[in-house]
Amino acid sequence: FFSPRGKMRVLVLQLLLSCAHTESADRLHVEIDEKGGQELPVQSEEMRAREAEARAGLAKELSDTLVDIMAVLMHGSDSAKNAALHRLGEMAISTGEAGREQARMFRSAVVAGGAVPELVAMVSSREHERQFLAAKAIHALALDDPTTDLDNFHSLEMCQGGVVTPLISLLNSQHEGVQGAATGALSVLAEHPTCQSMIVAVRQ
């Protein structure tokens, strides 16, 4: 089902998501130590095992869902691709609401999994619903935590991957929904200085 390159992307994607919760836990320990050396509550072995199982389950669920989305975007029918774009946008929003670390790792997995070329193809489509859904997904993926610059590279990856030109073209769409989705995506991307320069250059 996947080409050798596609299989490699899936492996990278799964590795990123499986590392997310371990990295988050380690960072929590560091942050607590820096804030006064507070001791974490002592966990029983049973609680540790349950927590590890829950983390692994969540990472696998995210990984499996994202792998399915990527497979559909690359090989699915037109209607299935639209549904996958909608799901991708939903996951970007839900992981963002779940916390900084999960949001960053999910977006990293999306980029590493090869979603950017697919998003460029989808937003360049002549089908209005697909244009709308792709622009909304790009918007959701470009959202970042305003308190840190650690997650700003996702916008840059998408801009350098080619989303700017088709998004700007959609500003002239006859469909207000498509125009609005493209405007929203570009406004978020423009928060990155390089993306902003690229947007200005294309519009001139």
Question: Could you report the per-residue pLDDT of 44-86, keeping only the tens digit for each?
Answer: 677 666 655 555 555 677 778 888 888 898 889 999 999 999 9
Q: What is the pLDDT of residue 114?
A: 84
Window from 34-38, 62-66, 113-117, 164-168 with minimum mean pLDDT: 34-38
Instruction: Tell me which of 104 and 133 has the higher pLDDT.
Output: 133
Question: Could you report the per-residue pLDDT of 95-130, keeping only the tens digit for each?
Answer: 888 777 778 878 888 888 888 999 999 999 999 999
Q: What is the pLDDT of residue 107?
A: 84
Residue 183 pLDDT greater than 70, yes or no: yes
Q: What is the CATH number of domain 4-203?
A: 1.25.10.10
In order, the DSSP letters of 5-31 are HHHHHHHHHHHHHHHHHHHHHHHHHHH
Which residues contact residue 106 at a Cβ distance below 8 angstroms, ignoring those fewer than 6 apart?
17, 20, 62, 66, 91, 92, 95
